[in-house]
Structure 1
Amino acid sequence: MIESYLLKNIAGYIDGQWVDKADSGETTEVFNPANGKTLAEIPYMAADETRRAIDAAKAARANVPDVKTRREWLEDCVEALTEEKEEIGRILCLEHGKPWKEAQGEVDYAASFFRYYAETMEDALAPQKLEEEAKNCKWTIYKRSIGVAGLITPWNFPIGMIAKKIAPALAAGCPVVIKPATETPLTMIAMFQIMHERLDLPKGMINLVMGSSKDIGGELMSNFDVPVISFTGSTGVGQLLVEQSKDHVKKLSLELGGNAPFIVLDDADLESAAENLIANKFRGGGQTCVCANRIFVQSKIYDKFSKMVVDKVKALKVGDGMDEDIDVGPLINKAGFDKVHDHVKDALSKGAELVAGKHPDELDSDKNLFYPPTVITGVTHDMKCCQEETFGPLVPMIKFETDEDALKMGNDTVFGLASYIFGKDEKRAHKIISNLHFGHCGYNTGTGPAAHAPFGGMLHSGVGREGGEEGLMEFVEAQTVPDGS
């Protein structure tokens, strides 16, 4: 079992109080994917607890303080996350599996959202007086808190994803009800412990319910007192939320699945492209929505680039994330492992060649969850690894001839979250970028989202944005006041 001074309470949090038992008495276990050992037993909550959390959050609206105080909350979170980076990173590593150093980097990433909104919220939320008079009135636009926010986060970034949501929500003055993934709730609990101890929050301002996705999500969606939902997860669940939102016309911010193309043109700096691919692809063991899923390489450089990537992949160290110098940890669970296994097996059966990693016949998720970094060449777009998001350490190399081919294949997906392109000719590259239907497109970089810039998807990858002023506006309603006095 895990021990940490940040986990004094393995519990939910409702109306300013720790709740260590679900109404039903049910519990669920949290496992370390590196060794299968139980880390903790958490209460498995459902609709009733969620309803109480919503009621507490609704009551807190009457006690939300001014912008200056809310800014101080965010500043205190930055300080706390910075001070506790190592311990939060350790907890994150143990329940997720990503290397400890990488987990600490995620804590820094989380802190950047609190920092950004602390620095910008006062100006962004200030009333806007319009210069032009109309209809014999002076006009002012006020930015009002939308109300109670339901925040639903995935397991792959246990603290990064909640920071992207809770920082702008608190900045806007929205009380929150949070549902973390049951695979990785401990990092969230640690963050709540910090906020409970360090922030002078009104009771009900932050609430944590853990357990049934169906029951908790169902209550958040059916409850009139929750006007906004911010969700990160699968497209299938996102589509369900859209259907469930119609009765109350809820505002939705949805970051959903991806199928990112990584395009390498024949004039690219190949060493830089290869290094960026490795950093992008194997972060979190390839379990990120923004990591490269389809690697398109122009035929002239295909063999040379493939060899460079293979050499770098073979140098990666796989193991328990708490061990020193580990680059890639385990996958989160058996289902995740088996999906990667299935994609590799499917590709090989259709003519792809395994050039790095182990043959799927040598691997078994019943033995452990460490899937070796794998590269396959000769990939075609009819293979599962191109049609579906693999969410694991697989690099499928696809050859293309012309820029038009790369653009056509890159866009050959219903998803539109992240994309990447490498090439020295800026005009040529931006011609492709301007026609890629992805909300994020890295040019000569594999970097993902940042706090100061809006991030989100097109098509089946979602609606709304996180980060930047746009992320704050997801929790705000504009109120227009014409003054005729």
Structure 2
Amino acid sequence: MIESYLLKNLAGYIDGQWVGADSGETIEVLNPANGKTLAEIPKMGTDETTRAIAAANAALPSVPDVETRREWLEDTRDALLDEKEEIGRILCLEHGKPWKEAQGEVEYAASFFDYYAKSMEAALAPEELADKAKGCTWTVHKRSIGVAGLITPWNFPIGMIAKKIAPALAAGCPVVIKPATETPLTMIAMFQLMHERLELPKGMINLVMGSSSQIGGELMSSPDVPMISFTGSTGVGQLLIDQSKDNVKKLGLELGGNAPFIVLDDADLDAAAENLIANKFRGGGQTCVCANRIFVQKGVYKEFSEKVVDKVKALKVGDGMDDDVDVGPLINKAGFDKVHDHVKDALSKGAKLVAGKHPDELDSDKNLFYTPTVITDVTHDMKCCTDETFGPLVPMIEFDTDEEAVTLGNRTEFGLAAYVFGKDAKRAHKIIGQLHFGHCGYNTGTGPAAHAPFGGMLQSGIGREGGHDGLLEYVELQTVPDGS
């Protein structure tokens, strides 16, 4: 069992109090590196969520001014940075990603609190329009949308909540948060810090854990929750869209991805290979923005593949708490088996295994460590191209012309992230301009940052997180014509 001074209360948090499940039922949180139980958390449902919504709604009249809210964000930022090693340890143990990488995620989370603390006052200021019409002066106010329901996934246990709760609090929205049951401990640790260090109105922040259908269903059906922000699968996102119609809720959705990573024949191959490794194996490949399909132009395909293979073979796989580990375990058996299935499918259709173990040597019943794998001679009919693998698999696909790269890159219903590498900026940006992805890196594999809007096109989502646009997700615009 895990022990931490940040986990004094393995409980939910409603109306300023730590609470268990009404039923007394619990859910085990497992360490994916060894399968051992880390903790048991309350399995909450409809009734607890109803009370959390009521508490958040009751907090609305007591939401303080911008200056006080800015202090909340600054204090949370400082608390996260002060405790990044311990939060990172908790994150590593429940997720599996290396401890150093987990600490980097805590720093990433803190950057959202920092950004909105610095930018919120100007962003929320009323805007007086320059033009007069109908004998009136016109002013646009940004009003808090009200209670926000925040639903987060397991792959970034603190990064994903930071990009939601920071702008929500900045805008003056009380929140009800549901974390993934695979990784709730990091969230509990953050709530412990906020409970101890911030003077929040009761009900301003609420945490419910447990049944996705019951908690999500209550958040969606309640007229007192006008805004839902969700990060997760496209299938669940589509369900939320359907459920939102009765109350006409505002939705912010970051959904699935199938990112192309395009290497042109004039690219710096060493830099492209380094960026691919950093991008692909972050979180063990379990990120929506990591490269899923690697397209390499014919003239450099062999050379680039060899560079990638050398780097992949050098990666160290193991328990994230061990020194020098690059890649930890996958989150669970289902995640492991999906990667396993994608590799077997590709090999059965003619792909070649050039790095990693043959799938017959790997078994999720033994452990969840999937060896980083590279396959070549991949074609677009293979599962690893049509579906998001979400694991440490690098499928190498050869292409001939720039037009073919665009066509293949866009051959997906998803549009979250893409990457293009090449020295000719005009050529590369022509390709980028034809790719239907909300985030498209040029000569970099970096993901989103706090100061920039991030989100998907097509079936990868609605709305944006980060930047000025991320804050506006939590406000309603009220236009006031003044004829006096």
Q: Matches of 2:73 and 2:350 in 1, distance apart?
A: 53
1:415 aligns with 2:418: no
Cα deviations across residues 302-322 of structure 1 (Å, max 9, x unaligned)? 000000000000000000000
TM-score by length of 2: 1.00
Task: Give the Å deviation of 1:436.
Answer: 0.1
TM-score by length of 1: 1.00
Give 1:367's aligned residue: 366
Give 1:2's aligned residue: 2
1:14 aligns with 2:14: yes
- Is the partner of 1:157 in helix, strand or coil? coil
Give 2:351's aligned residue: 352
Give 1:387's aligned residue: 386
Q: Matches of 1:446 and 1:240 in 2, distance apart?
A: 31
Cα deviations across residues 186-205 of structure 1 (Å, max 9, x unaligned)? 00000000000000000000
- Is the partner of 1:392 in helix, strand or coil? coil
Q: Matches of 1:98 and 1:82 in 2, distance apart?
A: 19
1:98 aligns with 2:101: no
Cα deviations across residues 53-104 of structure 1 (Å, max 9, x unaligned)? 0000000001000000000000001110110000000000000000000000
Q: Matches of 1:42 and 1:131 in 2, distance apart?
A: 54
Q: Matches of 1:434 and 1:476 in 2, distance apart?
A: 30
What residue identity is the alignment partner of 2:204? M
Identity score, percent: 83
For 1:289-300, what aligned pairs fall within 5 Å after superposition?
289-300=288-299
Q: Matches of 2:229 and 2:410 in 1, distance apart?
A: 26
Root mean square deviation of aligned Cα:
0.3
Task: Give the Å deviation of 1:297.
Answer: 0.1
Q: Matches of 2:237 and 2:378 in 1, distance apart?
A: 30
Task: Give the Å deviation of 1:424.
Answer: 0.3
What residue identity is the alignment partner of 1:87? E
1:232 aligns with 2:219: no
Gaps of 5+ in 2: none
Q: Matches of 1:419 and 1:482 in 2, distance apart?
A: 43
Q: Matches of 2:301 and 2:357 in 1, distance apart?
A: 22
Give 1:141's aligned residue: 140
Cα deviations across residues 146-174 of structure 1 (Å, max 9, x unaligned)? 00000000000000000000000000000
Q: Matches of 1:301 and 1:258 in 2, distance apart?
A: 26
- Is the partner of 2:434 in helix, strand or coil? coil
Give 1:32's aligned residue: 31
- Is the partner of 1:434 in helix, strand or coil? helix
- Is the partner of 2:292 in helix, strand or coil? strand
Deviating above 4 A after TM superposition, structure 1's stretches of 4 or more consecutive aligned residues are none
Q: Matches of 1:251 and 1:449 in 2, distance apart?
A: 23
Cα deviations across residues 376-432 of structure 1 (Å, max 9, x unaligned)? 000000000000000000000000000000000000000000000000000100000
What residue identity is the alignment partner of 1:3? E
What residue identity is the alignment partner of 1:258? G
Aligned residues: 484
For 1:187-266, what aligned pairs fall within 5 Å after superposition?
187-266=186-265
- Is the partner of 1:407 in helix, strand or coil? helix
Cα deviations across residues 226-263 of structure 1 (Å, max 9, x unaligned)? 00000000000000000000000000000000000000
Give 1:121's aligned residue: 120
1:280 aligns with 2:240: no
What residue identity is the alignment partner of 1:321? G
Q: Matches of 1:315 and 1:226 in 2, distance apart?
A: 49
Give 1:54's aligned residue: 53
Task: Give the Å deviation of 1:17.
Answer: 0.1
Q: Matches of 2:77 and 2:224 in 1, distance apart?
A: 30
- Is the partner of 2:398 in helix, strand or coil? strand
Gaps of 5+ in 1: none
Task: Give the Å deviation of 1:289.
Answer: 0.1
Q: Matches of 2:98 and 2:130 in 1, distance apart?
A: 53
1:174 aligns with 2:173: yes
Give 1:65's aligned residue: 64
What residue identity is the alignment partner of 2:104? G
